[in-house]
Structure 1
Amino acid sequence: MDFEYSPAQREVYEIVGELGRTKFSARAAEYDRDASTPIENLRDLGEQGMLKLTIAKDRGGMGSGALGEDPLLYLIAVEQTARYCLGTAQCLHIHCHGAHYVDNVCTDAQRDVICSDVVENGALLNATGSEPGRTRRGLYTLTTEAVRTDGGYVLNGVKNYATLAAEASYNVIFAGQPDKDPVGGHVGVAVPKGTAGLKVVEGSWDPMGMRVATSPNIELKDCFVSDDYVLGAPGVYPNNRWQAKFHLSFAAQYLGAAEGIFDFLSDYLPKRGTASDPYTQLRAGEIRIGIESTRWMIYRAAWLWKQGDEVAAELYSMQAKHRAIENAVITMDKAAQIAGSSAFLNSMPMPRYFRDLRIHTLHENLDKTAKTVGAHCLGEEFDTTARL
């Protein structure tokens, strides 16, 4: 395992870092106030080629993603984006996963249309499985129905947490066939923008944190999607454990956001006059150590994806995600201790950092992740897609 960035990885690190420092930071407060999608940020990323990170090189992409030539490459972009705007990082994460999924499960003809649209025109994709009550029912027990008809499927139902729904050129939607079991009947489709029957519910996204990662509800009513936009065979998403291929990008977001808090402390504490305090130094050192230990778990997990054992990569990715969540929460606590209450005036960035990071870490089930790893260690059955 090489602990140095490759030239391509270093270039992504520098490009996205520069965008974050000069543009994303300046826009973050306004996007947060308005709970609006960071279109300018995504456009800037697109202009630098970052929207094609997880599309294979034979389609003009950069060959990253869990199944790509360089699994770490897109994680660096997500991490660096989260360092300056966690909501934008979530949008990039969602797009990258939608694009990677399409690129890997579609026919060549579909790739020619959808992947080429991303590469050539900066088209945005998402991927929405979530819907009200899914946590209780289970990951694949969906109430949104896909009914087979001549030439495609008709969709009816409600989805939530549909990041990028209003801006996506293709809403990747997962639904269930009512006459089949949840796994065998699991269907994925790419609904082109403007398709009749797909409605983005205005005003349905107004959370305390992660306001920039605009994720409204979607209503689907007699929404016909032709076979040209049906993504793979029924059951391909659960059977190929695609959910487990996304663990690391969540971890990269938590890591980047913790790094952003440390960046703030490094600038703020000397100005406050407390940098010489031994307890301030202690907490700052603990935060730094936590960030570095988390980073190398994530990077090792990315390396494992190239070694040919997907289950081992999935399990270690879960461990890295668990560590990233724990470290994010610890970072917030220790940072608050040494920054003090003045750092939490709404004119400062710290309230937004904390709201975003604490809400976002709740997106993943810390206990279920640890339970899954423990089951594997004890020789019991386990499911690397478990996260809700």
Structure 2
Amino acid sequence: MDFDYTPKQRKIYETVGELGRTRFAARAADYDARAVTPVENLKDLVDAGYAAAALSEEIGGLGGGALGKDPLASLLVVEQTARYCLSTAQCIHIHYNASHRIEQIGSPAQRKRLLGPVVEEGKFVNSTGSEPGRTARGLYNLQTVAEKVPGGWRVNGVKNYATLADTVHYNTIAAVAKDTPPPGGHLMLALPQGVEGLTIEPGSWDPIGMRAAVSPVLTLKDVFVPERDQLGELGESAKGRWQAKSHLSFAAQYIGGAEGVFDLLTEYLPRRGTAGDGYTQLRLGEIRIAIDAARWLTYRAAWLWARDIAAAELFSMNAKHQAIAAAVLAVERGAQIAGSSALDAGSALSRFIRDLRYQTLHENYDKTAATIGKYHLGQAYDVTSRL
């Protein structure tokens, strides 16, 4: 495999890096303090031509996404955005995975109606599977229930971690068809912004980290979803193992966030006067090595997606595991060598540490490793296992 960026990939890396340095970094503290969606950052990405990075070139995208011709295209946007604002990276990650899924499982009419505005107007979509208690119940054991009614579905339930819910033109949500056990009854539905019966619960997002990746609670009460807004057949999204197709996008966030910590440390430590200290050098070197290892595992996994999907799913878990390890190492070792004087509540380093540690809890580090172990021991394994 070729470890060099293509000209297109190099342009993405440099363009988003420049946006991050000149705009995202400057806005991050204010977004964090107010806990609001970073709409200006998202608009900058739209204006740069990256709203449709995870869509095929045939419909106006850049060919990114796990099943695209160039999976690394959208991953580079996420990685470089995370280097300067992890919350913005989470928002664009959610949009990319949701738009990619719609293109892959949606009908031609749905692609035109839902994704046309993404390509032509810079609109956003999201995807929310999470709901209270899902971790204990299992990935597909949802309590948001869709009942078949004439012309569509009537949906009731509660969803949480609904990133971008206040910004998208369509919320896509996971539910289970009434009286049809999961995963066969699992279905994805597209709900237009402002649909009757869908409430974005005020005050439901106030975390310690990732504060600008606003991910509120949604309450659905007798929401009618017409048949035309059902995405794919019953059970299709579960059968397609779509959770596995987001592993690398999480890895890109962890790598970018760890890179952001590294950037801040290399700027701060010489001013602190400890750049010549052996302990400081050791810890900083460990962070650098961990980031580089995670990055190249992630890039190799992206390369595999265009060649062997089964191998790519599994190897993406390797990459994600290493990226979590690198991020946690950057947080721990970075705090040690920066010292408490660098960790004022309003400092950029403090924000990165809060955001990165909070975001790495989004995935189960040990379960990821156990899944890899199951495969190598010839046991049944599940590449969608995350929590």
Fold similarity call, TM over 0.5: yes
Within 1, Cα distance between the matches of 2:378 and 2:273?
53
Report the secondary structure of 1:374's partner residue. Answer: helix
Q: Larger deviation: 291-300 or 273-282?
A: 273-282
Amino acid at match of 2:373: G
Within 2, Cα distance between the matches of 1:8 and 1:190?
32
Identity of paired residues, percent?
A: 57
1:235 positional shift: 0.4
Report the secondary structure of 2:164's partner residue. Answer: coil
Q: Larger deviation: 331-340 or 352-361?
A: 331-340
Any conservation in 1 of the 2:51–2:122 contact (CA below 8 Å)?
yes
Q: Structure 2-normalised TM-score?
A: 0.99
1:265 positional shift: 0.8
Amino acid at match of 1:63: G
1:280 aligns with 2:296: no
Amino acid at match of 1:311: A
Report the secondary structure of 2:191's partner residue. Answer: strand
Q: Structure 1-normalised TM-score?
A: 0.99
- 1:96-135 alignment to 2 at 5 Å? 96-135=96-135
1:82 positional shift: 0.4
1:224-256 CA-partner distances (Å, limit 9, x unpaired): 111221101010111011110000000110000
Within 1, Cα distance between the matches of 2:383 and 2:184?
18
1:337 positional shift: 1.6
1:327 aligns with 2:322: no
Within 1, Cα distance between the matches of 2:29 and 2:383?
36
1:282 positional shift: 1.5
1:183 aligns with 2:158: no
1:168-211 CA-partner distances (Å, limit 9, x unpaired): 10000110012101111111011011111111001100001110
Any conservation in 1 of the 2:148–2:178 contact (CA below 8 Å)?
no
1:9 aligns with 2:4: no
Structure 2's unaligned 5+ residue stretches are none
Within 1, Cα distance between the matches of 2:321 and 2:87?
20
Structure 1 moving runs of 4+ over 2 Å: none
Structure 1's unaligned 5+ residue stretches are none
1:359 positional shift: 0.7
1:259 aligns with 2:259: yes
**Residue in 2 aligned with 1:60?**
60
1:347 positional shift: 3.4
1:334-361 CA-partner distances (Å, limit 9, x unpaired): 1112111111012321111111111110
**Residue in 2 aligned with 1:78?**
78
**Residue in 2 aligned with 1:294?**
294
Within 2, Cα distance between the matches of 1:122 and 1:2?
32
Amino acid at match of 2:55: I
Within 2, Cα distance between the matches of 1:287 and 1:183?
40
Report the secondary structure of 2:249's partner residue. Answer: helix
**Residue in 1 aligned with 2:357?**
358
1:279 positional shift: 1.6
Q: Larger deviation: 371-380 or 266-275?
A: 266-275
Report the secondary structure of 1:53's partner residue. Answer: coil
Amino acid at match of 1:152: G
1:332 positional shift: 1.2
**Residue in 1 aligned with 2:316?**
317
Within 2, Cα distance between the matches of 1:262 and 1:273?
17
Within 2, Cα distance between the matches of 1:221 and 1:293?
47
1:12-63 CA-partner distances (Å, limit 9, x unpaired): 0011101100110011011101111001000110111111001111111111
**Residue in 2 aligned with 1:204?**
204
Superposition RMSD in Å: 0.8
